[in-house]
Amino acid sequence: MQSLTRAIARMSLLLCLQSVSCQIQGFVKKAAFLPCIYSDSKLTNAKVFWRDTSDRNVLDIKDGKEDVSNQNEKYKGRVSSYPEEYSKGNFSITLKNLQLQDSGVYDCFIYSADTHRAVSLIVSAEPTRGPETPAPRGAATKICAHLLLLAAPFLTSFL
């Protein structure tokens, strides 16, 4: 069962990287990596706006920096991005301390390029484990981390 989950997660990540929309699986209290990659052309000081299903401000990126001045309360202290990656068109974010209500579609509007990427996040309760797979705490997120090619230091700091 675990390996099937793994295969599905791997497949959906590949889809994420290749298309404008994708699906990410997350677990309550864990972190999810929401990819947003724009590689069509070089963007300097890109303006990028992350918004949730209800159009709440998840994160703004302006002038090569995170701008949290209009960030919605729901997301305060829970979102990180990777400023050193902006110049490569990588505006991905990590949303931590997931709750079931975080499920929904997240849009990454790349204002400077007049385009957007959508990520559908599905948060579920921590999977119950069969006796044959006594997974350690945080294993589910680690599987994601591995498959998402997340830099290990970013994620382990959330666990």
- Give strand ranges (E) for the chain: 21-27, 32-34, 48-51, 57-62, 65-67, 79-81, 93-95, 104-110, 115-124
By CB under 6 A, is residue 40 in contact with ligand NAG? no
Binding to ligand NAG by residue 85, rule CB under 6 A?
A: yes
Q: How far apart are CA 98 and CA 121, in angstroms?
A: 10
For residues 99 to 138, the per-residue mask of contacts with ligand NAG, x marking binding by CB under 6 A and - elsewhere, is ----------------------------------------
CB of 87 to ligand NAG, least distance (A): 11
Instruction: Kindly calculate the radius of gyration of the chain based on its CA atoms and give it in whole angstroms.
Output: 16
Nearer to ligand NAG, 13 or 98 (CB): 13
Q: What is the C-alpha to C-alpha distance for residues 127 and 10, in angstroms, rounded to an integer?
A: 18
82 binds ligand NAG (CB under 6 A): yes
Which residues would be at the binding site for ligand NAG (CB under 6 A)? 37, 82, 85, 88, 90, 92, 149-151
